[in-house]
Amino acid sequence: MQQKLTIALSKGMLLKPTIKLFKEAGLPTKNLDEDTRTMVFDYEDQNIRYLMCRPTDVPIYVEQGAADLGIVGKDVIVEQGKDIYELADLGFGYCRFVVAVPEVLKDEKLENFNYKRVATKFPIVTEGFFRSKGLQIEIIKLHGNIELAPIMGLSDVIVDIVSTGRTLKENNLVELEQIMDSTTRLICNRVSYKTKHNKIRPLIRKFEIITKGGITT
Protein backbone atom coordinates (compact mmCIF):
# COMPACT_ATOMS: atom_id res chain seq x y z
CA MET A 1 0.00 0.00 0.00
CA GLN A 2 1.27 3.46 -0.89
CA GLN A 3 1.46 5.66 2.19
CA LYS A 4 -0.18 9.03 2.13
CA LEU A 5 1.85 12.08 3.08
CA THR A 6 0.06 14.93 4.88
CA ILE A 7 1.72 18.35 4.89
CA ALA A 8 0.51 21.27 7.05
CA LEU A 9 1.01 24.59 5.24
CA SER A 10 1.20 28.04 6.80
CA LYS A 11 -1.44 30.39 5.40
CA GLY A 12 -0.50 34.00 4.79
CA MET A 13 2.90 35.34 3.79
CA LEU A 14 4.61 31.98 3.55
CA LEU A 15 2.05 30.37 1.26
CA LYS A 16 3.11 31.86 -2.07
CA PRO A 17 6.80 30.97 -1.79
CA THR A 18 5.77 27.54 -0.48
CA ILE A 19 3.64 26.88 -3.56
CA LYS A 20 6.48 28.05 -5.77
CA LEU A 21 8.89 25.70 -4.04
CA PHE A 22 6.45 22.78 -4.29
CA LYS A 23 5.96 23.43 -7.98
CA GLU A 24 9.68 23.36 -8.63
CA ALA A 25 10.00 20.18 -6.58
CA GLY A 26 7.34 18.51 -8.70
CA LEU A 27 4.68 18.31 -6.00
CA PRO A 28 1.04 18.78 -7.01
CA THR A 29 -0.17 22.38 -6.64
CA LYS A 30 -3.24 22.47 -8.87
CA ASN A 31 -5.93 24.80 -7.46
CA LEU A 32 -3.84 25.26 -4.34
CA ASP A 33 -4.96 28.62 -3.03
CA GLU A 34 -6.02 29.92 0.35
CA ASP A 35 -8.78 32.15 -1.01
CA THR A 36 -11.05 29.21 -1.77
CA ARG A 37 -11.76 28.58 1.95
CA THR A 38 -10.93 24.94 1.36
CA MET A 39 -8.99 23.62 4.32
CA VAL A 40 -7.87 20.26 2.93
CA PHE A 41 -6.37 19.75 -0.52
CA ASP A 42 -6.25 16.08 -1.37
CA TYR A 43 -4.25 14.85 -4.40
CA GLU A 44 -5.20 11.21 -4.41
CA ASP A 45 -3.15 10.24 -7.46
CA GLN A 46 0.04 11.49 -5.87
CA ASN A 47 -0.88 10.31 -2.35
CA ILE A 48 -0.38 13.80 -0.99
CA ARG A 49 -2.64 15.96 1.12
CA TYR A 50 -2.17 19.56 2.28
CA LEU A 51 -3.78 21.20 5.29
CA MET A 52 -4.29 24.96 5.37
CA CYS A 53 -3.33 26.10 8.87
CA ARG A 54 -2.66 29.27 10.76
CA PRO A 55 1.14 29.43 11.02
CA THR A 56 1.05 29.10 14.82
CA ASP A 57 -1.02 25.91 14.51
CA VAL A 58 1.39 24.08 12.19
CA PRO A 59 3.73 22.72 14.93
CA ILE A 60 0.90 21.18 16.96
CA TYR A 61 -0.54 19.42 13.87
CA VAL A 62 2.88 17.93 13.21
CA GLU A 63 3.71 17.11 16.83
CA GLN A 64 0.49 15.18 17.30
CA GLY A 65 0.78 13.35 14.00
CA ALA A 66 -2.26 14.95 12.34
CA ALA A 67 0.27 16.00 9.68
CA ASP A 68 3.53 14.26 8.78
CA LEU A 69 5.32 17.38 7.63
CA GLY A 70 4.85 21.09 8.12
CA ILE A 71 6.05 24.34 6.60
CA VAL A 72 6.50 27.02 9.24
CA GLY A 73 8.78 29.87 10.34
CA LYS A 74 11.59 29.31 12.83
CA ASP A 75 10.05 32.15 14.88
CA VAL A 76 6.97 30.04 15.53
CA ILE A 77 9.04 26.92 16.21
CA VAL A 78 11.30 28.45 18.86
CA GLU A 79 8.41 30.09 20.66
CA GLN A 80 6.47 26.83 20.91
CA GLY A 81 9.28 24.35 21.61
CA LYS A 82 7.32 21.35 20.30
CA ASP A 83 8.86 17.87 20.01
CA ILE A 84 9.40 17.74 16.25
CA TYR A 85 12.21 17.28 13.75
CA GLU A 86 13.49 20.36 11.97
CA LEU A 87 14.66 18.91 8.69
CA ALA A 88 15.50 21.69 6.28
CA ASP A 89 15.92 25.43 6.00
CA LEU A 90 13.78 26.53 3.07
CA GLY A 91 15.42 29.96 3.00
CA PHE A 92 12.38 32.16 2.38
CA GLY A 93 10.30 34.21 4.79
CA TYR A 94 13.31 35.86 6.40
CA CYS A 95 12.75 37.89 9.56
CA ARG A 96 14.57 38.49 12.81
CA PHE A 97 13.71 38.82 16.48
CA VAL A 98 14.75 42.20 17.82
CA VAL A 99 14.58 44.20 21.01
CA ALA A 100 13.28 47.64 20.06
CA VAL A 101 12.88 50.85 22.08
CA PRO A 102 11.46 54.34 21.47
CA GLU A 103 13.96 56.45 19.55
CA VAL A 104 14.80 58.65 22.54
CA LEU A 105 16.23 55.62 24.30
CA LYS A 106 18.38 54.44 21.41
CA ASP A 107 21.66 54.98 23.25
CA GLU A 108 20.62 53.08 26.38
CA LYS A 109 22.39 49.84 27.17
CA LEU A 110 20.36 46.64 27.39
CA GLU A 111 21.37 46.26 31.07
CA ASN A 112 19.43 49.41 31.87
CA PHE A 113 16.21 47.63 31.05
CA ASN A 114 16.51 45.31 34.05
CA TYR A 115 13.15 45.04 35.85
CA LYS A 116 11.41 46.92 33.00
CA ARG A 117 8.27 45.90 31.11
CA VAL A 118 8.58 44.21 27.73
CA ALA A 119 5.61 43.87 25.37
CA THR A 120 5.74 40.95 22.94
CA LYS A 121 3.90 38.24 21.08
CA PHE A 122 6.76 35.88 21.98
CA PRO A 123 7.00 35.53 25.78
CA ILE A 124 9.19 32.41 25.71
CA VAL A 125 11.81 33.77 23.33
CA THR A 126 11.78 37.08 25.22
CA GLU A 127 12.13 35.56 28.66
CA GLY A 128 14.90 33.24 27.43
CA PHE A 129 16.84 36.07 25.85
CA PHE A 130 16.75 38.43 28.83
CA ARG A 131 17.51 35.61 31.25
CA SER A 132 20.54 34.60 29.22
CA LYS A 133 21.78 38.18 29.70
CA GLY A 134 21.17 37.93 33.45
CA LEU A 135 18.27 40.39 33.32
CA GLN A 136 14.82 40.13 34.81
CA ILE A 137 11.87 41.69 33.08
CA GLU A 138 8.12 41.79 33.29
CA ILE A 139 6.49 40.40 30.17
CA ILE A 140 3.30 41.86 28.75
CA LYS A 141 1.87 39.38 26.30
CA LEU A 142 0.05 41.02 23.39
CA HIS A 143 -1.45 39.46 20.26
CA GLY A 144 -0.65 42.14 17.69
CA ASN A 145 0.37 45.77 17.07
CA ILE A 146 3.17 45.46 19.58
CA GLU A 147 4.53 48.85 18.48
CA LEU A 148 1.60 50.53 20.20
CA ALA A 149 2.65 49.44 23.68
CA PRO A 150 5.65 51.77 24.22
CA ILE A 151 3.83 54.66 22.57
CA MET A 152 1.03 54.40 25.09
CA GLY A 153 3.35 53.73 28.00
CA LEU A 154 2.16 50.16 28.40
CA SER A 155 5.74 48.91 28.18
CA ASP A 156 9.28 50.29 28.09
CA VAL A 157 10.62 47.93 25.44
CA ILE A 158 9.24 45.53 22.85
CA VAL A 159 10.44 42.24 21.39
CA ASP A 160 9.07 41.55 17.94
CA ILE A 161 9.93 40.06 14.59
CA VAL A 162 10.82 42.45 11.79
CA SER A 163 11.82 41.86 8.21
CA THR A 164 12.56 45.28 6.72
CA GLY A 165 12.20 47.34 9.88
CA ARG A 166 9.74 49.74 8.26
CA THR A 167 6.99 49.31 10.85
CA LEU A 168 9.44 50.09 13.64
CA LYS A 169 10.55 53.26 11.91
CA GLU A 170 7.00 54.42 11.29
CA ASN A 171 6.32 54.16 15.00
CA ASN A 172 9.54 55.90 16.05
CA LEU A 173 11.12 52.73 17.40
CA VAL A 174 14.72 51.62 16.91
CA GLU A 175 16.40 48.27 17.15
CA LEU A 176 18.49 47.99 20.27
CA GLU A 177 19.61 44.39 19.92
CA GLN A 178 19.12 41.42 17.61
CA ILE A 179 18.04 38.17 19.25
CA MET A 180 18.05 35.72 16.34
CA ASP A 181 17.27 35.27 12.65
CA SER A 182 14.37 33.26 11.36
CA THR A 183 13.55 31.61 8.06
CA THR A 184 10.99 29.04 6.98
CA ARG A 185 11.63 25.43 8.00
CA LEU A 186 10.43 22.02 6.95
CA ILE A 187 9.39 20.21 10.12
CA CYS A 188 8.44 16.57 10.60
CA ASN A 189 6.63 14.34 13.07
CA ARG A 190 9.09 12.17 14.99
CA VAL A 191 7.38 8.93 13.98
CA SER A 192 6.51 9.83 10.39
CA TYR A 193 10.18 10.48 9.90
CA LYS A 194 10.82 6.81 10.66
CA THR A 195 7.76 5.16 9.14
CA LYS A 196 7.55 7.25 5.94
CA HIS A 197 11.26 7.67 5.52
CA ASN A 198 11.24 6.53 1.91
CA LYS A 199 8.80 9.25 0.92
CA ILE A 200 10.28 12.01 3.04
CA ARG A 201 13.98 11.65 2.24
CA PRO A 202 13.71 12.29 -1.52
CA LEU A 203 11.50 15.29 -0.83
CA ILE A 204 14.04 16.85 1.50
CA ARG A 205 16.76 16.28 -1.07
CA LYS A 206 14.73 18.06 -3.73
CA PHE A 207 14.01 20.99 -1.42
CA GLU A 208 17.69 21.24 -0.55
CA ILE A 209 18.79 21.26 -4.13
CA ILE A 210 16.28 24.02 -4.85
CA THR A 211 17.04 26.15 -1.80
CA LYS A 212 20.72 25.15 -1.43
CA GLY A 213 20.44 25.35 2.33
CA GLY A 214 19.82 23.08 5.27
CA ILE A 215 21.41 19.75 5.86
CA THR A 216 23.74 18.39 3.26
CA THR A 217 22.97 14.71 3.02
Partner 1 sequence: MRNKIIPSGLRDLLPDQVKVMREIEKKITQLFKGYSFQEIITPTFEYLDVIETGAGNIREELFLFMDREGGILSLRPEVTVAIARMVATHLIDKDFPQRLFYIANVFRHIQPQRAQHREFWQMGVELMGVSGVRADAEIITLAVESLRTIGVQDFKISLNQIGIFNSLLEDSSIESEQKKLIRSLVEGKDLVELGKLLESLPIDDALKETIVKLPVLHGGLEILRDLPYLEKHPQASQAVEELVNVYDALQVTGVRENVVLDLGVLRGLDYYTGIVFEGYAPDLGYGLLGGGRYDNLVGKFGRDCPAVGFAMGLDRLAMVLDSKEKSLPHYLVGGTDYEKVVERCNELRNKNYVVEMDVENLTKAELEQKLKAPYQLIYID
Give contact residues for partner 1 (rule: CB under 8 A). 3, 63-66, 74, 83-89, 185, 189-197, 201, 214-217
Pairing of strands 85-89, 117-120: unpaired
Distance (Å, whole) CA 189 – CA 107: 45
The residue among 34 and 63 lying less far from partner 1, judged by its C-beta, is 63
Question: From the CB of 69, what's the least distance to partner 1, in Å?
Answer: 12
Question: From the CB of 79, what's the least distance to partner 1, in Å?
Answer: 14
Main-chain phi, psi angles of 181, to 5 degrees = -90, 160
The residue among 164 and 216 lying less far from partner 1, judged by its C-beta, is 216
Q: What angle do CA 138, 144, 146 make, to 5 degrees?
A: 50
Please give the sequence-ordered ranges of beta strands (E in DSSP) within 112-172, or none if there are none. Answer: 117-120, 138-141, 157-162
The residue among 88 and 137 lying less far from partner 1, judged by its C-beta, is 88
The residue among 25 and 105 lying less far from partner 1, judged by its C-beta, is 25
> Under a CB-based contact definition with an 8 Å cutoff, are residues 10 and 74 in contact?
no
Question: From the CB of 84, what's the least distance to partner 1, in Å?
Answer: 7
Distance (Å, whole) CA 41 – CA 33: 9
Question: From the CB of 8, what's the least distance to partner 1, in Å?
Answer: 12
Question: From the CB of 156, what's the least distance to partner 1, in Å?
Answer: 31
The residue among 89 and 156 lying less far from partner 1, judged by its C-beta, is 89
